[in-house]
């Protein structure tokens, strides 16, 4: 049993000895040749399908988000990178080692870096998107709706934490699995693309499973109460998935907006409960909207302060504008004044940024009292291709 590795568990031999012991740990899923939606905690989430996993699929606990810059401008070579990345992603999302594994020929570096050996798939999802600069560099036609985001008042964006030709969103229940995935994709990309910036996240601040307990953000409020459910196909089709209006490669895909939002935690912590609740228009403990008793009660907008965050961002205040939020909290230690470098790594998926993030952020940037306690310091937008079929690779139709 000493070599009951991630990889052996997936082989017949590994399963014969491993299945019984693994079942209780959520590893029994590995018996299936085709990954299926995680039915047990830690099970794999299907990589193939009509849509990329990691958008409407249940939100995992941890994030490693990476933005890559291309080092070449030949679309054929980038297609080859996507083919190699897809092959690695297919393996990692089912808990397998990359390529020939973490141990191979003695005199060559192994194909897999090895730190995820013995760990389950941990519901790893890998979601890829292409930014405006990707299309410029490769001289490929960009989708109409993929435009650099406008400047919003009070933005203080750091170019070193913004943009990027390709993004990879790795989500998993185990941070080591998410970090391993990004690290191995970066290793594969050597010579073709390199990491421009990356962000670790924990404590998801959204939910695509309304029946689950809503997580809390670092301000202590339940975050993600009113979000698009992963099972709400009508809402996903209307607000998240690109339809016939997009190029073929993007249909079933989505536009992703990322914002690194720093929180002035120490100032927030000196703010009265009443003011904190007024800012959101919801109670802190229950998460109920003002004028209602329970978290999931409908929001009586006229009972909320006119500039409450929830009122400003609510679809009824914005002609129906709706996004799917999938953000994570982050802390990157403390700054030189001893203040926690913390905040929200906000991620939003939408069918059209002009009918999603942009009008909401315009309203929030203009009036949200939360602005006194936050600052947007990083930003990016990417077009995420539709789902990957068996035998295909990320964005294949874009390159052919
Ligand atoms: C541009 C979009 C949004 C940004 C940026 C944003 C930042 C941000 N939000 C919170 C905390 C909460 N947001 C909540 C609701 C909410 N927020 C947005 C959009 C943005 N938020 C939307 C669309 C909604 C839902 C509105 C609705 O339909 O009712 C809530 C309430 C709970 C919930 O419904 O999720 C909280 C809390 C922070 C802390 C923050 C920046 C740091
Ligand atoms: Fe919000």
Task: Give the model confidence (pLDDT) of 87-130 as tens digits.
Answer: 999 999 999 999 999 998 899 999 999 999 999 999 999 999 99
Span 177-196, pLDDT tens digits: 999 999 999 999 999 999 99
The answer, yes or no, to whether any atom of ligand 1 lies below 6 A from the CB of 314, is yes
Q: What is the pTM of this model?
A: 0.91
Question: Taking 60 as the threshold, does the pLDDT of residue 314 lie above it?
Answer: yes
Q: Is the Cβ atom of 355 under 6 angstroms away from ligand 1?
A: no
Q: Is pLDDT above 60 for 355?
A: yes
Q: 296-305 b/e with 16+ CB inside 10 Å = b?
A: eeebebeebb
Residue ranges of alpha helices (H) inside the chain are 6-9, 12-23, 75-92, 132-138, 175-188, 233-239, 265-269, 273-280, 309-313, 357-367, 396-399
Q: Which residue minimizes the CA distance to atom 37 of ligand 1?
A: 223
**Cβ neighbours for 261, distance < 8 A, ≥ 6 positions apart:** 343, 344, 345, 346, 374, 375, 376, 377
Report the complex ipTM.
0.99
Residue nearest (by alpha carbon) to ligand 1 atom 29: 314
For ligand 1, what atom is nearest to the CA of residue 263? 42
What average pLDDT score do residues 260-270 get? 97
Cα 309 to ligand 1 centroid, rounded to whole Å: 7
For a mutational test of ligand 1's pocket, the pick from 216, 255, 309, i.e. the residue with the most ligand atoms closer than 8 A to its C-beta, is: 309
Shortest-distance ligand to the CA of residue 263: 1
For residue 40, name the pLDDT band (cuts at 50, 70, 90).
Answer: low
Q: What radius of gyration do the chain's Cα atoms show?
A: 21
Question: Does ligand 1 come within 6 angstroms of the Cβ of 313?
Answer: yes
Is 24's pLDDT higher than 90? no
Question: Does ligand 1 have an atom closer than 6 angstroms to the CB of 344?
Answer: yes
Q: What percent of the chain has pLDDT over 70?
A: 90
Residue 388 · residue 86 · CB < 8 Å: yes
pLDDT at position 37: 52
- The 10s digit of each residue's pLDDT in 64-95 is 999 999 999 999 999 999 999 999 999 999 99
Q: Which ligand is nearest to the CA of 217?
A: 1
Q: Please report, rounded to a whole number, the percentage of residues in the chain having pLDDT higher than 90.
A: 86
As a whole number, the mean pLDDT across the chain is: 90
394 lines ligand 1 (CB under 6 A): no
Q: What is the pLDDT of residue 41?
A: 60
Distance 153 CA to ligand 1 centre (A): 18
pLDDT surpassing 80 at residue 15: no
pLDDT of residue 43: 78
Distance 339 CA to ligand 1 centre (A): 24
pLDDT score, position 204: 75
């Amino acid at each position: 049993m000493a070599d009951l590795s991630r990889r052996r568990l997936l082989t017949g031999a590994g399963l014969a000895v491993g299945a019984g012991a693994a079942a209780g740990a959520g590893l029994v899923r590995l018996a299936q040749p085709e990954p299926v939606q995680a039915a047990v905690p830690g099970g794999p989430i299907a990589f193939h399908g009509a849509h990329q996993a990691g958008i409407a699929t249940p939100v995992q606990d941890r994030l490693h988000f990476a933005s890559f810059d291309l080092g070449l401008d030949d679309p054929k070579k980038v297609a080859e990178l996507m083919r190699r990345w897809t092959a690695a992603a297919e393996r990692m999302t089912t808990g397998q080692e990359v390529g020939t594994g973490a141990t191979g020929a003695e005199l060559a570096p192994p194909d897999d870096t090895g730190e995820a050996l013995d760990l389950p798939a941990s519901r790893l999802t890998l979601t890829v998107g292409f930014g405006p600069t990707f299309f410029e560099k490769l001289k490929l036609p960009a989708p109409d709706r993929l435009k650099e985001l406008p400047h919003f008042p009070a933005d203080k964006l750091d170019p070193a934490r913004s943009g990027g030709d390709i993004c990879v969103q790795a989500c998993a229940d185990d941070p080591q699995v998410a970090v391993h995935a990004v690290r191995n994709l970066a290793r594969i990309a050597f010579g073709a693309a390199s990491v421009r910036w990356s962000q670790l996240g924990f404590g998801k601040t959204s939910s695509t499973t309304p029946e689950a307990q809503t997580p809390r953000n670092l301000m202590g409020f339940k975050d993600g109460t009113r979000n698009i459910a992963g099972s709400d196909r009508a809402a996903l089709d209307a607000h998240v998935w690109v339809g016939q209006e997009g190029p073929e490669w993007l249909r079933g895909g989505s536009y992703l907006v990322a914002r690194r939002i720093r929180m002035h935690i120490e100032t927030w912590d000196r703010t009265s409960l009443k003011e904190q609740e007024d800012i959101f228009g919801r109670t802190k403990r229950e998460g109920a909207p003002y004028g209602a008793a329970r978290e999931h009660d409908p929001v009586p907008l006229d009972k909320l302060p006119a500039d409450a965050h929830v009122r400003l961002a609510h679809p009824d205040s914005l002609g129906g504008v709706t996004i799917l939020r999938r953000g994570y909290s982050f802390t990157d230690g403390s700054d030189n004044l001893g203040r926690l470098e913390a905040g929200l790594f906000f991620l939003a998926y939408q069918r059209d940024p002009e009918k999603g993030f942009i009008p909401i952020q315009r309203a929030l940037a203009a009036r949200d009292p939360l602005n006194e306690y936050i600052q947007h310091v990083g930003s990016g937008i990417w077009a995420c291709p539709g789902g990957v079929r068996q035998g295909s690779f990320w964005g294949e139709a874009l390159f052919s």
